[in-house]
Amino acid sequence: MADEENPKMDEVPVGGLVVGDGEQATEEKPASTEGKAAEGSTTVAGVTMDGTQFPLALILISSIILLIATTSSPGMPSMKYSYEKYAVSVSSISLILSFIALLMHKFAGSLYDKMEKHLCMTMFLWSFIGACFLTFRAPFTTTSNGYFAAWATVYGVPWQWVWILRRSRPTSGG
Distance CA 99, CA 126 (A): 15
Q: For residue 155, which amino acid is it?
A: Y
Return the pLDDT at 41.
73
Distance CA 48, CA 38 (A): 8
Return the pLDDT at 93.
96
DSSP 85-131: HHHHHHHHHHHHHHHHHHHHHHH-HHHHHHHHHHHHHHHHHHHHHHH
Return the pLDDT at 96.
96
Count Cα atoms within 13 angstroms, Cβ side, for 83.
11
Distance CA 98, CA 72 (A): 22
Return the pLDDT at 75.
65
Beta bridge partners of 13: 18
Q: For residue 57, which amino acid is it?
A: A
Q: Give Cα 87 to chain centroid, integer Å.
A: 24
Distance CA 6, CA 4 (A): 6
Which residues contact residue 38 at a Cβ distance below 8 angstroms, ignoring those fewer than 6 apart? 48, 50
Q: For residue 96, which amino acid is it?
A: I
End-to-end CA distance of the chain: 47
Closest to 48 in 3D by CA, of 157, 39, 159: 39
Return the pLDDT at 166.
82
Return the pLDDT at 51.
78
Averaged in consecutive runs of 10 residues, what is the pLDDT profile of the chain (174 residues)?
Answer: 52 47 46 43 74 88 94 68 84 95 91 91 95 89 91 92 80 59
Cα 78–Cα 90–Cα 145 angle in degrees, nearest 5: 70
Return the pLDDT at 99.
95
